[in-house]
Amino acid sequence: MTDTTYRQALNDALRSELSRDENVLLIGEEIGLFEGSYKITAGLLDEFGPRRVLDTPIAEEGFVGAAVGSAMLGMRPVVEIMTLNFSLIAIDQIVNHAAKIHGMFGGQSSVPMVIRMPGGGGQQLAATHSQNLEVWYAHIPGLKVVAPSSPADAKALLIAAIRDDDPVIFLENLALYNTRGEVPDGDQVAEIGKASIAKEGKHLSVITYSRATTVALEVARQLEEEGISLEVVDLRSLRPLDRETICASVRKTSRAVVLEDDCLSYGIGAEISATLMEGAFDYLDAPVRRVAAAEIPLPYAKPLESAALPTAKDLIRVVRELLAATSFTR
Amino acid sequence: MVDRKEQRTAGQEDAQTLIGYYRQMALIRRFELTADQMYKRAKIGGYCHLNLGEEASVVGLMTALQPRDYLFTNYRDHGYALARGMSTGAVMAELFGKSTGVSKGRGGSMHMFDTETRMLGGYGIVGGQLPPATGAALALTYRGDPGPEAEAVMCQMGDGTTNIGAFHESLNLAAVWNLPIVYVIINNGLGMATTVEAAAGEPELYKRGCSYRIPGERVDGNDVVAVHDAATRALDRARRERQPFLLELMSSRLRGHSVVDPAQYRSREDVEHAQAADPVPAFRQQLLDSGVLEESLAQQIDTESREAVNAAVAFAEASPDPTPDQLFDYAYATPVPNSPDTLPGHPVTGMP
């Protein structure tokens, strides 16, 4: 085990896969000389050269689509989109092409590519640069969508995504890059499509993913001191969604809160709630609660931005409300 | 416009080659007329765009393309699939949505695909094929050196495609990365009902590569030999020098945008002009006049085309429909846990 940052874990995974497989290719804006806007690709141009670490013009539709075509010929491109917001410029290539080619052509060609991109608010980047949009991609058959919350998962899921023959949307979060954690030595390969129990507990399940998992874990630690035992389910994979792990947790705790960074309507929380209606209804002591962002283009001014985004305080309040509504006793 | 006579002296095709071109053009013509009928008999669903009037362009391009090269096209793709060497029956079966279709009935008219003949898709979204084709050319630069035997990519599109962003982003990438790709515009003058003049700031479309220093050439798309020669030159340049090229073929659409479009927006003169320029009877007559083709052989080719297409229809009719239990067969290339596989109205998770 090594204590490292989420950023370094991603960098380690890329370096390791570039060394392992000569078909792995990094494509993106400013990933070479500039080492990436968030320095995820630091040092890789020096180590692997401009053929393996390919800087592109500002042309998301063009270079994401070029990655699709190169993957059809056997390359394994790992695309960095500078922020998730810019992926909307490439959405035709992601949704209409990368996601469709394997199935629509009768399984004749796979599209082994990864699109890495950071999302998330809270950085005072205003409305167009603070989105999450994970449900846009999680909605699309043909894609795989992962959103790791810890350095260990970031590394193991990125390695899994690169070795996977399907297009994988790899969602990072700006607020996670400097977070630290223990990462197993060597190349662990995570299983895409599996959630993890980030913390076991018995009174209430918090179902969450990406940055919000770190919030949920911190809240769980605080409430543990009061004798409230939260179970934290880290989805890790948004498509496929591990419904069984979610339902099994709630069947045990009988209470569920979904914590998500994106806005509420039609969100991940809505999907989880519907899943629990189907798979844990008889076990629920109260309706599922959702804690999500306010539905407004995210403002720049700090007091407004902070008011719009879900916080640990919001989660604690909702947990207490739900416990009170279900006559919780320690 | 490249002078036809000049091209002739440059490329002196032998009689067998010219007859071979006619044979392919006649097959595509018969196939498309039959597809139109089959659509009207509801054997074919969805959208269906025909290559009627574009046979000389299709055959000129496909005879220039080598088996080692890769092809990406738009949705008007039946003729390309046939000329690329896919079986007539498998192409018709794809139109019929049968499991024996080239894309196993998953794609239909707009989505012909065959790894073997390296046609990596007809694409239904205008401009959608350009970035992947450009990326395929990028991949070629990782697996071989430039030279006369190198692989190249051809990317076909319609005139309307030159107005979409993907066209410009792709050409720019091909230029800055020095990619072995030939972009081909079939300019039939109409994007659905919108004329090229109404849609394009530079209606001489082969000049649109100038912004990217990509050379272009405009060729008579009704002249199969001129198309073949121009495409061969462009491909050769792509192979040897890894330089992209933009080829514009002036063509005519004999029918509507798709089989359900009566094209009432077209003037009588425009339609008459297109019919007068129809490359299939024109090439047949040219070969008869020059003594390359005997009338008896011409008739035999026409008969063989009809028989081949009839056999394709019979094959498609007799082929099995894909069955619902195969629905999720190609959900993912790499299977993973919890992959969704429920039919409408079925629970996504069980209650113990």
Domain ranges of chain A: 2-183, 196-325
Nearest CA in chain B to A281: B351
Q: Using a CB-CB distance cutoff of 8 angstroms, which residues of chain A are in contact with residue B330? A: 102-103, 106-107
In degrees and rounded to multiples of 5, residue A80 shows phi and psi of: -105, 125
CB contact under 8 A, A59 and B172: yes
Q: Is A24 helix (H, G, I), strand (E, B) or coil?
A: strand
B158 is in which domain, residue-wise?
48-83+118-299
Widest pairwise Cα distance in chain B: 81
Cβ–Cβ gap B338/A193 under 8 Å: yes
- Closest Cβ opposite residue B134 in set A66, A106, A282: A66
> Among all residues of chain B, which has the CA nearest to that of A282?
B351
Q: How far is A308 from chain B (nearest CA, A)?
A: 33
| Chain-centroid distance, C-alpha A323 | 28
Has residue B98 been placed in a domain?
no
Cβ of B132 and A144 within 8 Å? no
Stretches in chain B below the pLDDT threshold 70: 1-12
Could you give the residue numbers annotated as active site of A? Answer: 60, 129
Searching chain A, which residue's CA lies closest to the CA of residue B99?
Answer: A106
Cis peptide before A240 (omega within 30 of 0): yes
What pLDDT does B351 receive?
Answer: 79
Closest CB from A57, A68, A164 relative to B131: A68
Q: At what angle do helices A211-224 and A312-325 cross, to 10 degrees?
A: 60
Helix (H) or strand (E) holding A117: strand A114-119
Answer whether CATH 3.30.360.10 is correct for domain A196-325.
no
pTM comes to: 0.96
Predicted pLDDT at A240: 98
Mean pLDDT of A188-200: 98
> What is the band of A329 on the pLDDT scale with cuts at 50, 70, 90?
confident
Residue B342 lies in a domain: no
Q: Do A106 and B113 touch (CB under 8 A)?
A: yes
Domain with residue B256: its CATH number is 3.40.50.970
On whether residue B339 sits in a domain, the answer given is no
**CB contact (8 A) between residue B352 and residue A251:** yes
Fold observed for domain A2-183? Rossmann fold (3.40.50)
Which of A56, A166, A281 minimises the CB distance to B332?
Answer: A166
Sign of the C-alpha dihedral computed for residues A133, A136, A139 and A144 taken in this order: negative
DSSP state of A94: I
CB-nearest to B120 from A72, A194, A244 is A72
What pLDDT, on a 0 to 100 scale, did the predictor assign at position B2?
46
C-alpha radius of gyration, chain B, whole number:
21
In a domain, B311, yes or no: no
Backbone dihedral angles phi then psi of residue B285, each to the nearest 5 degrees: -65, -40
Counting the structural domains of chain B, the total is: 1
- Indicate whether this complex's ipTM tops 0.90: yes
Task: Record the tokens describing residue A274, joined without a space.
Answer: 């519907």
Q: Is residue B88 part of a domain?
A: no
pLDDT band at A330 (very low <50, low <70, confident <90, very high): confident
- Structure confidence at residue A264 (pLDDT): 96
Lowest mean pLDDT, pick from A212-216, A264-268, A326-330, B119-123: A326-330
Q: B130 and A191: CB-CB below 8 Å?
A: no
Give me the DSSP letters along B141-192: TTT---STT---EEEEEEGGGGGSHHHHHHHHHHHHTT--EEEEEEE-SEET
* A144·B329 Cβ contact <8 A: no
Look at residue B232 and tell me if it is in a domain. yes
Q: Please indicate, yes or no, if residue B36 is contained in any of the structural domains.
A: no
Q: What is the per-residue pLDDT for B12?
A: 58
* Burial environment of residue B183 by CB neighbours within 10 A (0 to 12, 13 to 18, 19 or more): buried
State the DSSP code for B121.
E
**Paired sense of beta strands B194-195 and B216-220, if any:** unpaired
The mean pLDDT value for A20-24 works out to 98
Percent of chain A's residues with pLDDT above 90:
99
Tell me the per-residue pLDDT of A149-174, one tens digit each, with 9 for 90 and over: 999 999 999 999 999 999 999 999 99
Q: What is the pLDDT of residue B332?
A: 98
Q: What pLDDT is attached to residue B4?
A: 47
Check if the beta carbon of residue B117 is closer than 8 Å to that of residue B156. no
Average pLDDT, chain A: 97
A248 Cα to chain B: minimum distance (Å):
10
Equal CATH topology for A2-183 and A196-325: yes
Is residue B341 assigned to a domain?
no
With contacts defined as CB-CB under 8 Å, which chain B residues touch A164?
Answer: 334, 336
Q: Using CA atoms, how far apart are residues A15 and A21, in angstroms rounded to an integer?
A: 10
CB pairs under 8 A between A and B: 189
